[in-house]
Amino acid sequence: MRLKEVRKKKGISQLKLALDLSMNQNSISRYENGEREADYTTLIRFADYFDVSIDYLLERTDNPKTNK
């Protein structure tokens, strides 16, 4: 998942992301390191937060705005 890349590009710390989404920073770290997979609801929250598509987060496309 491209979460770490998107987060760093926006200049947001793991802690800020976790606080903004009412999550645990440890969970953010695990998602970024591939130790944990996000469920549908969490993927939607990340995509909405960063204003990118889920496909972009999942590295299915290089275009952050479309599902193609």
pLDDT digit string, tens, across residues 7-66: 999 999 999 999 999 999 999 999 999 999 999 999 999 999 999 999 999 999 999 987
What is the widest separation between alpha-carbon atoms in the chain?
31
Determine the 3-state secondary structure of 3 from DSSP: helix
Q: Is the pTM of this model over 0.95?
A: no
Domains defined along the chain, listed by start: 3-57 (1.10.260.40)
State the pLDDT confidence band at 68, using cuts at 50, 70 and 90.
low
Distance from the Cα of residue 34 to its chain's centroid: 12
**How many Å separate Cα 39 from the centre of its chain?**
11
Q: Is 54 helix (H, G, I), strand (E, B) or coil?
A: helix
Looking at residue 28, its pLDDT comes to 98
Distance CA 30, CA 37 (A): 8
